[in-house]
Amino acid sequence: MNVLLSLGNDLASSIALRYLSQQAADFPMTIQPLHIEAEDKHFPLGTGWVKNTWKDTVVSSSEVEINNFIHNEIRFCRSLSPAITRIGDGEKQILKELQNGNYQLFAMGLLSSFSSKIFYNLLASKLITKSSCPVLLIKNLRDFKSVTILCKKGMNIKKLAREYLDMYGKASVDLQLLHVEPETDSEQVTRSEQVPVYLQEIGDALATEGCVPKILNTLTGPPQAIAEILKSQGMVVSSFNKTSDTKSPFFDILAYVPTPVLVFWS
């Protein structure tokens, strides 16, 4: 799996880099760090040769800075490619790299937030709406030992399961499949072993591929409380339909859960 990792010299990137390195130690993965230096930060002067020389200088000094950052964060990760450094608009440059490169996943650090606004703003951003690559939002540093696939009725769960298998099918993690019915007016979360037929079918399909879910449950309750329960997971996976899905209690769970979240697009 080829992963494009957006990297800055900041806390969120530090967490993202360390989390991905941990995943890479478990199964084959190539991590391509991409650092974008904002153009307006350096107030470019001149045109032509002067401007190009200035850009080259900024890129090379940023390259040194970001490589130092990587070496400070992790001692060695054989899956890590040398960082690419570009200058310009962050979203445009990432989209360009995703289009030109052969990436299966885009990863970035996104510090966990008390407000769901940051998560929804990201879903509405050009970076997400124009990219077809699944996105891994790394909110905290967690052990990658357990994964929950979060499902709801009407979701293209077969596609989600297929995509998950393609990426993480070889990972040795405890997998749980959850059908979730968020209730904003309730106070407690109830867990039931009664699951809808679709979830059972997907569980069986995953099992035939050698990826046996350990738990199949239905969770009912307020989104924040469900997110709290899921914080023990190493990663939470779900799917978002860019054309029809909007802010909802189901996606609030993904916004509030403090563990890394992998979002596929349907």
Partner 1 sequence: MKIIVAVDSNPYSGHVAHEVGKLAVNTWADITIMGVLSPLEDTAKARETLEQQLVKYRRIILDSYTSDSCPYNKDAVEQWEQTEDGYSMAATGGGLKQLQLVIAKGAAAQEILLYNQNSESDLIVISCDKDLGCSWQSGKVPMKVATEATCSVLVVKETKDPEQVVCCLDHDHVTQYSLEMINQLVTLYGAELKIVGISDSDSLKENIEQKMQQLLEYYNNLKLTPWLEVVDGATMPSFISKESQKNLVALWVGPTSFLNRFFPKKRISSFISDSPSSVLLLR
How far apart are CB 180 and partner 1 at their closest, in Å? 21
Among the residue ranges 111-119, 129-137, 147-155, 240-248, the one whose residues contact partner 1 (CB under 8 A): 111-119
The answer to whether 208 and 235 are in contact (CB under 8 A) is no
| From 48, 114, 188, 194, residue interacting with partner 1 (rule: CB under 8 A) | 114
Residue 95's closest CA among 65, 137, 63, 135? 135
Is 139 or 152 the residue whose CB approaches partner 1 more closely? 139
How far apart are CB 255 and partner 1 at their closest, in Å? 13
15 binds partner 1 per the rule CB under 8 A: yes
Among the residue ranges 6-14, 94-102, 161-169, 173-181, the one whose residues contact partner 1 (CB under 8 A): 6-14
Compute the distance between CA of residue 6 and CA of residue 94 in angstroms, rounded to an integer.
Answer: 8
* Exposure of 123 in the CB half-sphere (CA atoms within 13 A): 24
How far apart are CB 240 and partner 1 at their closest, in Å? 21
The answer to whether 5 and 31 are in contact (CB under 8 A) is yes
165 binds partner 1 per the rule CB under 8 A: no
Count Cβ atoms below 10 Å from residue 83 Cβ, excluding itself.
19
Is 185 or 187 the residue whose CB approaches partner 1 more closely? 187
184 binds partner 1 per the rule CB under 8 A: no
Compute the distance between CA of residue 39 and CA of residue 233 in angstroms, rounded to an integer.
Answer: 38
Compute the distance between CA of residue 66 and CA of residue 87 in angstroms, rounded to an integer.
Answer: 13
Is 32 or 112 the residue whose CB approaches partner 1 more closely? 112
Give phi and psi for 134, each to the nearest 5.
-60, 150
For 80, which DSSP code? B
How far apart are CB 159 and partner 1 at their closest, in Å? 32
Among the residue ranges 51-59, 91-99, 133-141, 204-212, the one whose residues contact partner 1 (CB under 8 A): 133-141
Pairing type for strands 146-151 and 174-182 reads parallel
- The two tokens of residue 11 are 């806390």
Compute the distance between CA of residue 157 and CA of residue 109 in angstroms, rounded to an integer.
Answer: 26
53 binds partner 1 per the rule CB under 8 A: no
71 binds partner 1 per the rule CB under 8 A: no
Of 226-245, binders to partner 1 (CB under 8 A) are 231
Residues that bind partner 1 (CB under 8 A): 10-11, 14-15, 111-115, 117-118, 139-142, 231, 258
